[in-house]
Amino acid sequence: MIQDSDFNVANDTSVKKRPLLSVVVITYNEATRLAKCLNSIQTLADEIVIVDSGSQDGTVDIARRFTDRVIVTDNWPGYGPQKQRALAAAHGQWVLSLDADEQISPALAMEIRAVMETGTADGYFLPRLTTICGKPVRHGGWFPDYVLRLVQRKHAFFTDDVVHERLCVRSDRSDPLRLEKVLPRLREPILHVSYASLDQLLEKMNRYTTLGAEKLKQRGVKGGVFRGLYKGLAAFLRSFVFKRGFLDGGLGVIVALSSAESAYYKYVKLAYLYRDTENEKNTE
């Protein structure tokens, strides 16, 4: 664990100070997956920070087996603000942001340590390999799925989006998308063990489409069944045909259909959000 003394430079200038890494994770009822995540970074992390939003399944107890930096919050502000809380609690020169369903391979750990020792960039994008029911998804737009996860803490911040939040560096606060063009990429992927079953895939899709609809409503985007059908068809073609999801066989069909359903239900839910708002106004 990081101690205050770790940040003091030794009087002997011949001793090189090793960069310190904080790994930050937010959790909610992740008892079935958290231990594998934390086991994968034990030899890499100098500090582990867990921010939990009221788990009831033993997640906090598991987290405390790995770190004493466990923060339990009594409210849920959304993914972006919650991850910003975790980032603000970190002390390391470098920060690696992980989700509880992600793991770091020994090869990726070595690559991360190497760039912390010699790299000069504000942050690094990491490829991510997702598995569904134990099978890796290598096409359909799901791989390499580069995500900005390794950053120098003093330059980093999370957007305040309730869903689909982004980790950014301050030099590009005005244009987060530009980061993908200017920041370097690592080669070894994060293992994203997101869906152990199709039930988990459907549950997450339902939750994210609700949050996505709310986000679109805040931006003034309009929804509807027919718009949802159009968006869903476009998503299926993009995933299965243009992103070559067909190369994953039956798994590619599942991925493309889940992309289509996500797009469709997001816009249908959006239409109902507007309807509910209108009904509330009429009853006032």
Check residue 180 and give its pLDDT.
65
CA 142 to each of CA 95, 127, 137, 138, 216: distance values in angstroms, whole numbers, following the listed order:
24, 10, 6, 6, 23
CB neighbours of residue 127 within 10 Å: 16
How crowded is the C-beta side of 115, counted as CA atoms within 13 Å? 24
pLDDT for the residue numbered 119: 82
Name the least confident of 69-78, 174-183, 196-205.
174-183
What does the pLDDT average to over 151-157? 93
**What confidence tens digit (pLDDT) does each residue in 179-234 have?**
666 899 999 999 999 888 899 899 999 999 999 999 999 999 999 999 999 999 99
Question: What value, to the nearest 5°, has the Cα angle with vertex 129 and ends 106 and 175?
Answer: 105
Percent of the chain with pLDDT over 90: 77
Mean predicted lDDT score pLDDT of the chain = 89
Per-residue pLDDT averaged across 150-178, rounded? 82
How much is the pLDDT for 245? 96
Cβ–Cβ < 8 Å for 179, 172: yes
Contacting residues for 13 by C-beta, under 8 A, at least 6 apart: none
Query: Residues 240, 258: contact at Cβ < 8 Å?
Result: no
Query: Smallest Cα–Cα separation from 206: which of 198, 91, 179, 50?
Result: 198
Contact 194, 204 (CB under 8 A): yes
Q: What is the reported pLDDT for 284?
A: 65
What is the pTM for the complete model shown? 0.82
Percent of the chain exceeding pLDDT 70 equals 89
pLDDT of residue 227: 96
Least confident range of 7-11, 27-31, 204-208, 239-243 = 7-11
* pLDDT (tens digit per residue) in 227-279: 999 999 999 999 999 999 999 999 999 999 999 999 999 999 999 999 988 77
First vs last C-alpha separation in the chain = 56
For residue 3, pLDDT over 50 is answered with no
87, 24 contact by CB (below 8 A): yes
Q: Residue 32: its pLDDT value, please?
A: 93
Residue 179 pLDDT:
66
Neighbours of 92 (CB within 10 A): 22
Closest CA to 94 of 69, 67, 71, 113: 113
Predicted confidence band of residue 9 (pLDDT cuts 50, 70, 90) = very low
SS3 content of the chain, % helix, strand, coil (to 5): 45, 20, 35
For the segment 72-82, the average pLDDT, to the nearest whole number, is 94
pLDDT above 90 (res 81): yes
In order of 38, 51, 78, 83, 133, the CA distances from 32 in angstroms are 12, 17, 22, 21, 15
Q: Which pLDDT score, from 0 to 100, does residue 14 have?
A: 39
DSSP 250: H
At residue 280, the pLDDT reads: 75
